[in-house]
Amino acid sequence: MSSGLFNTSSAPLHRAKIIATAVIIGLLLVLTILLPLPVFAAIANPDTAPTIWDVHVNQNVISQGDIVFTGLYNIPYATPPTATADQTFIIRLMDPTGTTDLGSVAPFNYNGYHNGYNQGAFSLYFAPGNTLSWGTTYIIQIAENPSQFASPLKWNTSLTAGMYTSVTTQADNQTDLASQIFTIGSILATDFNEKLFTLVGSRQVFTSDGEIYFRGAINGIQSMAPALFAIQQNTLDLSSTAWTTSSTWTNYLTRFNGTWVGTAMTATGNQFGMSGNMAMGLIFVVPACMIFLILSAKRFNTTDPGLVCSAVILEMGTVMGWVSIALFATTFQLMGIYIAYLFFFSRS
């Protein structure tokens, strides 16, 4: 047969294709061997050795058992590389021997400022369940990224016991961390030549620039140091309140017990055959109410302003313990009835 799958006339052509394929594969292998290794980006080492300082360690800032390391770094370049610092450097937490990487983060490139080089803030957060030991002399390392440097260098800074906070509760740690952030932020504000904090009431809080920077440099900072934010997030307490008269009986009526005032009240009450509290009410509270009622009637031809003043005096007298809770409640009930009369029944 002159045609078909096993046509003998096509055998030389088939052999030529095999030889050509083998030659191409061989050339590719040779080129792979002979081509130079990938060329690393032409990034110079820092002008001087990078440093880590102002390190502070807090715990229980978001959840019980978590740990966060915060501080400042300095990767000095008079002329920063074009590649940003988050591409070229890594900040690591290492074990005390400097061999095991426990966690890492890249420097934050703030709005193109020095491309993230020179001074900046960093944080390393470890959630609850981590294997870290509190107070250990860990190492914080600044390392050159192997993808950017042919012979990457490393610089180590060992922690000390004094870098660990002494407070333990969440509230105290959040306050302590806020103080730490304000300290390092004040240093960076001078270096950045920008205002990162502003005074609101009695608190130092982030400006818009400060919030942008620290949200990027310290992930989760609003949960860790909420006091640094002008707008606070709070969970509403929707539980019902069981109102009682315990404050009246426990705090108000006995506030002068054991004092010279209480002794004088008791002596005065004994003269009239009543308690000292009631005596003070008759001597001070009742006359004061009567005075305002009389002045109101003469000056305004109505007792309404006097009743308003009397309500305040009665409240003050109750807090002093000079008006009994029963009299206080009865008086305000009568006032409520009188107001209802004025609204619905009075024709004048």
Taking a C-beta distance cutoff of 8 angstroms, is the pair 307, 315 a contact? no
Q: What is the pLDDT of residues 237-250, one digit of tens each?
A: 788 888 777 776 67
> So what's the pLDDT on residue 2?
44
pLDDT confidence band for 15 (50 / 70 / 90)? low
Mean pLDDT value of segment 96-106: 96
Question: Does the pLDDT value for residue 290 go beyond 60?
Answer: yes
> So what's the pLDDT on residue 32?
53
Question: Does the pLDDT value for residue 6 go beyond 60?
Answer: no
pLDDT confidence band for 122 (50 / 70 / 90)? very high
Q: How far apart are CA 124 and CA 136, in angstroms?
A: 15
Report the sign of the C-alpha dihedral through residues 8, 13, 16, 22, in that order.
negative
**What share of the chain in percent tops pLDDT 90?**
54
User: How much helix, strand and coil, in percent to the nearest 5, is found in the chain?
Assistant: 45, 15, 35
CA dihedral 337, 343, 344, 348 (to 10 degrees): 110
Question: Does the pLDDT value for residue 60 go beyond 60?
Answer: yes
Question: Does the pLDDT value for residue 7 go beyond 60?
Answer: no
Mean pLDDT value of segment 8-22: 62
**What share of the chain in percent tops pLDDT 70?**
86
> So what's the pLDDT on residue 5?
42
Would you tell me how many other CB atoms lie within 10 Å of the CB of residue 125? 20
pLDDT confidence band for 38 (50 / 70 / 90)? very low
> So what's the pLDDT on residue 235?
72
Taking a C-beta distance cutoff of 8 angstroms, is the pair 163, 142 a contact? no
- Considering just the CA atoms, what is the radius of gyration of the chain in Å? 40
Mean pLDDT of the chain: 87
Mean pLDDT value of segment 160-181: 96
Question: Does the pLDDT value for residue 55 go beyond 80?
Answer: yes
Q: How far apart are CA 215 and CA 279, in angstroms?
A: 63
Q: Which residue has the tokens 């006339």?
A: 9
Report the sign of the C-alpha dihedral through residues 69, 74, 79, 81, in that order.
negative
Q: What is the pLDDT of residues 245-285, one digit of tens each?
A: 777 667 888 888 889 988 999 999 899 888 888 888 889 98
pLDDT confidence band for 90 (50 / 70 / 90)? very high
**Which tokens go with 230?**
């002008």
Taking a C-beta distance cutoff of 8 angstroms, is the pair 70, 177 a contact? yes
pLDDT confidence band for 37 (50 / 70 / 90)? very low
Mean pLDDT value of segment 108-115: 86
> Where are the domain boundaries for CATH 2.60.40.10 in the chain?
51-228
Taking a C-beta distance cutoff of 8 angstroms, is the pair 224, 174 a contact? yes
Beta strands in the chain (DSSP E): 51-59, 67-75, 89-94, 101-105, 118-126, 139-144, 154-158, 197-200, 203-206
| Entry pTM | 0.59
> So what's the pLDDT on residue 141?
98
Q: What is the pLDDT of residues 63-82, one digit of tens each?
A: 999 999 999 999 999 999 99
Supply angle C-alpha 147, 151, 154, rounded to 5.
Answer: 90
> So what's the pLDDT on residue 251?
81
Mean pLDDT value of segment 319-325: 83
- Give the pairing type, strands 139-144 and 203-206: unpaired
pLDDT confidence band for 12 (50 / 70 / 90)? low
Question: Does the pLDDT value for residue 4 go beyond 80?
Answer: no
Q: Which CATH number fits domain 51-228: 3.40.50.720, 3.30.365.10, 2.60.40.10, 2.40.50.100?
A: 2.60.40.10
